[in-house]
Structure 1
Amino acid sequence: MKRRKDTIEYGIIGLGRFGIALATALSEAGKEVMVVDNTESKVKQIRDMVSEAFVVEGIDKASFESAGIQNCETVIVCIGEKIDTSILATLTVISMGVPRVISKATSAEHGCVLEKIGAEVVYPEKDIAIRLARRLVSPHALDFISLNDDIAVSEIRLTTVLEGKSVMEAGIRNQFGLNIVAMEREHDTTIDIQPTYRFRKEDVIVVIGKRDNINRFEAYLSEE
């Protein structure tokens, strides 16, 4: 375990599959992560990967304060199965003054309660299902992330429709209202998208915009 700092970037409460995967991904991205769980074996499993790891006796303010959750900039409550415990943990962390609290929800009702007490809400199972469905029904979509009911980010493989055209000539922004935020060619990714850059078939672009516009763009790519 590393020496405790005054502040730490991320705190994770609950080390189920979602919590462990999240802690691992954040740590591998070079972020400072504190994990808290009441099961010693789970904490031991990930202790060497994170900045700090604590076994707590209960889901209460005293236990969280002892671990130092109040020093985290963002806390993610990854307790989804036990709804009452999830709500209690979320409420406790919010009352401790953590600037940003995100909680995992397993149903719309669960999420509604979490939102009402002041947390941001994620629905991991729902999001995964939506992303999988998108990939199944959209042959050019490699990944899809919904930002809200209207705006999304989509990773799209290009076709011969745009082959040889420059970014300016393709008119993706003017014609479809989409902004290109990243581009990948042969495993080389860039975010510096020049208007003169010419597309090749199999280039992958990441666009952000309205869902309807993304759908129109994907339909356009299928017209080969």
Structure 2
Amino acid sequence: MFNYHKPSIPFGIIGLGRFGYALAETLAHSGKEVLVLDNNENKIRQIQEHVGQAFVTPLLDKATLEESGIQNCETVVVCIGEQIEASILTALNVIELGVPRVIAKAISAEHGRVLQKIGAEVVYPEKDMAIRLASKLTTSRALDYIELSENFSISEMKLTAKFDGVTIMEANLRKTFGLNIIAIIKDGKTAVDITPDIVLSESDLIVVVGTKENISRFEKVLSD
């Protein structure tokens, strides 16, 4: 069935629902090699336009997964959350095949707890969160992300040379991006008393709060 084996593939995606498809497509557009598995031939045909390797897999038992080469992936994301039993068994099989990092979609807290107990990282995503996860996997800019509400979030980001030597007042993130800096991490030390005269450095981490749209705009500036 399969003839593709490579020592190290950055990402594997199992399941092409809305979340899995968006994640695979975004990772591929970021220039990352992606191995995709799904039992739907039409979905595999569609994603083949974007990824290098996509296979139809009617079964997700350990033997079939191993035959696909999924064990050669550095990170595998199991995106079949709606089928809880299949999700858990597939995640377990991938973990037992020795994949270093396994992330699994969960649809409930109970589902998530089981996945965590077998050693998987857990996400509770919709399509927009799939795109954000792909961003986290491919860039060091957005290091952490906490959703406060439907519109507002807290995000921790690594600065770039664009802000090296710039003061808080000069950066003026509140006026330019509608973001408030709530903490700065310099040399491993966290400061929450943010004053306009603080000088930023390329190696600094900043924690900002604002709308998702404004955070995304600032992430784009950091990545450009």
TM-score range, shorter chain: 0.5 to 0.7
Q: Tell me the distance in 2 between the aligned counterparts of 1:206 and 1:50.
A: 38
Show the 5 A alignment for 1:197-208: 197=167, 198-200=170-172, 202-204=175-177
Displacement, 1:208?
Answer: 7.5
Instruction: Within 5 Å, give how 1:40-79 maps onto structure 2.
Output: 40-79=41-80
Give the aligned partner of residue 113 of structure 1: 114
C-alpha distance in 2, partners of 1:215/1:53? 38
Query: Aligned match of 1:195 in 146, 162, 165?
Result: 165
Structure 1 residues 99-138: aligned runs within 5 Å: 99-125=100-126, 131=147, 133=149, 135=151
Map Cα deviations across residues 99-143 of structure 1 (whole Å, 9 max, x no partner). Answer: 110000011000000000000001114x96x748252xxxxx5xx
- 2:90 partner letter: A
Instruction: Look up the match of 2:158.
Output: 181
Whether the aligned pair in 2 keeps the contact of 1:181 and 1:208 (CA below 8 Å) is no
Larger Rg belongs to: 1
Question: Partner letter of residue 47 of structure 1?
Answer: Q
Secondary structure of 1:203's aligned partner = helix
Measured in 2, the distance between the counterparts of 1:74 and 1:216 equals 28
1:96 corresponds to 2:112: no
| Structure 1 residue runs without a partner (length 5+) | 136-140, 145-151, 155-179, 183-189, 219-224
Secondary structure in structure 1 of the residue aligned to 2:64: helix
Q: CA deviation at 1:93?
A: 0.3
Instruction: Look up the match of 2:155.
Output: 153
Q: What is the CA–CA distance in structure 2 between the aligned matches of 1:207 and 1:59, rounded to whole Å? A: 45
CA distance in 2, matches of 1:134, 1:21: 20
Q: CA deviation at 1:65?
A: 1.2
Task: Give the letter aligned to residue 203 of structure 1.
Answer: T
Report whether the alignment pairs 1:86 with 2:56. Answer: no
Secondary structure of residue in 1 paired with 2:48: helix
Q: Distance in 1 between matches of 2:48 and 2:62?
A: 22
Distance 1:199 1:30, change over 3 A: same
CA root-mean-square deviation: 3.3
Other-structure match for 2:189: none
**One-letter code of the match for 2:23?**
L
TM-score by length of 1: 0.65
- Alpha-carbon distance change, 215 to 67 in structure 1, aligned in 2, over 3 angstroms: closer
Match of 1:7? 8
Q: Secondary structure at the match of 1:74?
A: strand
Highest RCO, 1 vs 2 (Cα 8 Å, sep ≥ 6): 2
The secondary structure found in structure 2 opposite 1:88 is helix
Cα contact 2:180–2:208 (8 A) shared by 1: no
Count of paired positions: 169
**How far apart are the structure 2 equivalents of 1:53 and 1:84?**
23
2:36 aligns to what?
35
